[in-house]
Amino acid sequence: MNSASGVALATSLPGASTIAIGLVVALVVIAALVLVMRCYDDAFALLAIFALPFRVPISADGKTVNLLIPLYLVVAAGTIAHVLARVTTRRSTAAAELGTSATVSAPAGREAGGSPALEAASTPAKLPSWLWSTPRGLERLLLAAVGLYALQAIYSSDHARAAENVAFFYIPFALLFLLLRDVRWRRELLLRCLGVAVALAVLFAGIGFIEYARKSLFLNPKVVAANQYDNYFRVNSLFFDPNIYGRFLALVMIAVSTVVLWSARRRDILLGAAALAWLLGALVTSFSQSSIAALLLGLAVLAAVRWDVRGTLYASLGLAALAVALVLLAPASLHFGLKGSRGSTSNATSGRTKLISGGLDLFAKRPLEGFGSGSFETEYKHHSETTAANATSASHTIPVTVAAEQGIVGLTVYLSLLLAAFLVLFRGAGRSPPRIALAACFAALVLHTWTYADFLEDPFTWAILAVGVALARGARAEEASSF
């Protein structure tokens, strides 16, 4: 998928000595993180949220791959810390069982930092009739999606891309999901994680404003070249892609908007409004249409829950009609892409219509099983006889990409996963602002994937679902029910 997303930290050319030094440094960092996580229960959640946007570009054999090295280190440390905690808990339980039978009913250490998400007692006794629409069912669908993707990599025409996605995205993110799901998500921790995300967004926005003022980007030669030919300047801050930068800003803005809408404290409302104004300006400088659409959808979800569903629907339809009219009537100087010497629907959507039609053609050629995981770019280039540069962006609409790569089988799992996720996140969320924020963020993220890229290849997807599952299963739901 879109492996160029995320925040860049540094570029390295790995050799034998560099790899050895890197491994030593990684082990030292992991050991330090494990100690921190063992001392502070909330450390993993805060570090994971902090590490989500950062990717490190690694160059080798003339190819650059952007990997989430900081997140990998945090997940590795979190896994070790989790295993150590389980071992300690079992030993304490065994010792307690030998000492007295009165403590057998509750494992030792659970009150200090165990996982309430795993306790059956905290889960409502009455389950929905459709098991797959429960938190446990959603977890099984995520597992099925990962397993199916790995299985369909066997006959893929791009084994390297499929293996890269499985090794660097699906497996680490699945571990991230499991670890975040088992965190005790209290009100204070939720607010601290939001504070970390807002601080990062404000910082990235400030860097973006500097780029816009200088008309010069710090990273991504492709965007720099594109800005030379466009009549407007697109900012991507420290991200490799303006659309991924915009996605991050949109998700943070939706979460902050939830605080503004549900908070009764004047100070929180004023600070939230100031942050939203700052981030909105940054989002505009990215010129990311998909991110703006995602933000609007997320805000519409919040408005529907906070006030009235019917009124929100009417207002949204009216605004959508007005937006379409403005785009159709706007002069070519506004650069919407529909008018002028190169005006067309494809130009207005940055080539999305061609990519969609090409992807549907691939799906029609092999509808049942698809061409294999990670094969969209290769097959699109082969069947469309396009250039490598154009094929690079050929996975910009996730449902079409899934249909072309994984066929009806993969598309069924994908749609089932979406439906289950929405049911889990939205069911009962009206009484819990944190859950409302997660549901709105997920809706915005899904829309962004339909107009750009990355669904299960984005760690934010797994993080949102993990926290949503934990809250839905009753992990201290009363403490997390309001800001």
For position 187, what pLDDT does the model report?
Answer: 92
For position 152, what pLDDT does the model report?
Answer: 95
For position 332, what pLDDT does the model report?
Answer: 57
For position 8, what pLDDT does the model report?
Answer: 54
- CA dist 358 and 411 (Å) reads 17
Task: pLDDT tens for the chain, 483 residues: list them.
Answer: 454 456 655 444 456 677 788 889 999 999 999 999 999 999 999 999 999 998 877 766 666 677 899 999 999 999 999 999 888 877 777 766 666 554 444 444 333 344 444 333 334 445 444 566 788 999 999 999 999 999 999 999 888 889 989 999 999 999 999 999 999 999 999 999 999 999 999 999 999 999 888 877 776 655 544 444 445 578 888 887 888 999 999 999 999 999 999 998 999 999 999 999 999 999 999 888 899 999 999 999 999 999 888 888 888 888 888 877 776 665 655 555 555 555 445 445 555 677 788 888 888 999 999 999 988 888 888 777 665 455 554 557 899 999 999 999 999 999 999 999 999 999 888 779 999 999 999 999 999 999 888 899 999 999 999 999 999 987 444 544 455
For position 117, what pLDDT does the model report?
Answer: 41
Instruction: State phi, psi for 57 to the nearest 5 degrees.
Output: -75, 125
For position 20, what pLDDT does the model report?
Answer: 83
For position 323, what pLDDT does the model report?
Answer: 73
pTM: 0.83
For position 103, what pLDDT does the model report?
Answer: 44
- CA dist 297 and 368 (Å) reads 32
For position 477, what pLDDT does the model report?
Answer: 46
Q: For the chain, what is the largest distance between any 2 Cα atoms, rounded to a whole number of angstroms?
A: 84
| Amino acid at the residue 437 | A
For position 214, what pLDDT does the model report?
Answer: 85
Extents of the domains making up the chain: 1-114, 122-472
